[in-house]
Amino acid sequence: MSYPDYLWLLLGMGAVTYLPRLLPLVALADRSLPQGVRDWLGLIPVAILAALLAPSLFVAGPTNSLALGKAELFAAIPTLLVALGTRSLGAAVALGMGSFWLLSRFL
């Protein structure tokens, strides 16, 4: 691929990434939405966080198959408990990394 072609590719990738990030902000920031839509949007953070996280715990990457023995899944358990107990991001990240490091040496 020539360099100008590469630049055009980046501009295309950038545009289709930027527009979904921008358009809802511009369209919705100064509008008061109906209560129903606000309730639905209020559930989006929890839904999307869980949806983003789940495959990294339960799906084996290379084969795209269900996996119940990943180091990520086992490390997630103490991380979850500490997060529930302390509600501290720092504690959860530190303990999660430590657990994962130990587990990935033995699994």
Partner 1 sequence: MTRAQRFVILRDGAAAAWPICLGYFPIGLALGVLARKHGLAALDIGLMSLLVFAGSAQFIGVAMLGTKAAPLSIVLTTFVVNVRHLLMSSALAGHLHGAGKPFLAIFAYGVTDESFAVNMARFRSSWDRWRALVVNQLSNAVWIFATILGALVGNLVPDGALGIDFALPAMFIALLVLQLHSRIHVLTALAAVAVSVAWQLLLPGGTHAVAAAVIAASAGYLLLRRKENK
Rounded Cα–Cα distance for residues 39 and 19 (Å): 24
Residues 6+ apart with CB under 8 A from 83: 89, 91, 92
Smallest gap from residue 61 Cβ to partner 1 (A): 10
Considering beta carbons, is residue 66 or 69 the nearer one to partner 1? Answer: 66
Q: Are 58 and 73 in contact (CB under 8 A)?
A: yes
Smallest gap from residue 69 Cβ to partner 1 (A): 15
Q: Does residue number 107 form part of the binding site for partner 1 (CB under 8 A)?
A: no
Site for partner 1 in 18-77 (CB under 8 A): 18, 20-30, 33, 36, 38-59, 64-66, 72, 75-76
User: Smallest Cα–Cα separation from 102: which of 60, 67, 74, 62?
Assistant: 74
Out of 4, 34, 90, 106, the residue judged to bind partner 1 by CB under 8 A: 90
